[in-house]
Amino acid sequence: LFCLSFCLPRLTAARPPAPHLVLVLADDLGWGDVGWHGSAIRTPRLDALGAGGVRLERYYTQPLCTPSRSQLLSGRYQIHTGLQHQIIWPCQPSCVPLDEKLLPELLQEAGYVTHMVGKWHLGMYRKECLPTRRGFDTYFGYLLGSEDYYSHNRCVLIKAKNVTRCALDFRDGEEVATGFKNMYSTNLFTERAIDLIANHKTEKPLFLYLAFQSVHEPLEVPEEYMKPYSSIKDVKRRHYAGMVTLMDEAVGNLTDALKRYGLWDNTVLVFST
């Protein structure tokens, strides 16, 4: 009996592969601006994801870009990182403290391939603060916030000189990304995310952080997405509704790609705002 228990080779169950992780973050999306909360704004793809998954209806996020994003990636309440007061403004010498180990760094250590697409807004005054120095293998997007959706410029009023200056805030890795003028940012970010999914080698698990600019101001969207909301009299609300619907379509395109390239059945997808 002793030999049967300890001398025969042990049969162990194969360890299941680590799941792919896809984290999609909207910006300034209102709680009541999705279909399953009774909104007139159409979000069929998000509605379907929620119906087929788990809806977390009682959790809270911070109301500003930098504090919420720092909490998400560091796992620490922002009073512990000094980022509780406001956003990080252009030219402000600040970023998530460099001694904080962020989620993508931990996932890299666990064997994940890590990609970020979209809005960073966690500091960029030193190269050490950039996404590609904080755990992401690749990065494509905006380092700040409030960029024009088409030109990708970020404009700043310099009060001391009473002058507004604009500059391109678009990066591919650590290089300025040019050649994307007049291309809507939500579509650009979705296309890059789908390209990463299509080219992912499944020997390693994937972590994809897709941080949309949508639906943060400025209120900009292609005209055809506003047509279903012609009954909305407030032009700002009409623009916003179109932006939400376009983002919903983008999330649908992303999930379709995960299915098309064979990743969906082993993917944990999280959508938040």
Among the residues of 181-234, which ranges form H helices?
A: 185-198
DSSP bridge pairs for 153: 168
| Known active-site residue 65 | yes
DSSP bridge pairs for 272: 25
* Cα-Cα-Cα-Cα dihedral sign, residues 200, 95, 26, 189: negative
Tell me which of 20, 115, 121, 200 is the catalytic residue: 121
| Nearest C-alpha neighbor of 235 from the set 226, 248, 244 | 226
Among the residues of 65-216, which ranges form H helices?
A: 65-74, 103-109, 185-198
Distance set, CA 5 to CA 2, 12, 60 (Å): 5, 14, 52
Q: Decide: 155 and 165 in contact? Cβ < 8 Å.
A: yes
Tell me which of 20, 65, 115, 129 is the catalytic residue: 65
| Nearest C-alpha neighbor of 146 from the set 133, 155, 137, 134 | 155
**Which residues are tagged catalytic?**
65, 121
